[in-house]
Amino acid sequence: MKHGIILFDGVCNFCNASVNYVIRHDGQGYFRFASLQSEVAATLAGEYGFSTEGMSSFILLENGKVYTKSTAALRVARHLGFPAVLLYGFMIIPAFIRDGVYNLIARNRYRWFGRQDACMVPTPELRGRFMS
């Protein structure tokens, strides 16, 4: 896989803000994006053997592997510029601890950050980075 693919909750304000951050700091254009609610995500779920039902996480597909929760987030950070790249150092913390923090944010993301009625629509300049 030549690009990392990020599958995200398209109606979550926090998730959309995170995708926008990645776009701004992904100088190499490495990442491609699709919402978890999309046909693309459903196809990839079948291909890679994961479910998007009730997903409170985002998913990173990279080099033929599926990453979720804090591991996915930190692997994304590894590809971004300073200061986000420094977050990758948190990989030394055991996943069950990292995922505990991740789950707390995921459970409360709508309450803390809100949600939209529909998935984000990329601008014409960014449309090529979104899978459809």
Give this prediction's pTM.
0.84
Task: Give the tens place of pLDDT for each residue, 5-24.
Answer: 999 887 777 788 888 899 98
What does the DSSP assignment read for 30-43? Answer: -EEEEETTSHHHHH
pLDDT digits (tens, 9 = 90+) for 62-100: 999 999 999 999 999 999 988 989 999 999 999 999 999
Q: What domain count does the chain have?
A: 1
Dist CA 16 CA 130 (whole Å): 13
Residue 61's contacts (CB-CB under 8 Å, 6 or more residues apart) are 1, 4, 5, 7, 44, 48, 67
Domain that holds residue 96: 4-129
How far is it, in rounded angstroms, from Cα 125 to Cα 106?
A: 29
Longest Cα separation, the chain: 40
Coil, strand or helix at 7: strand
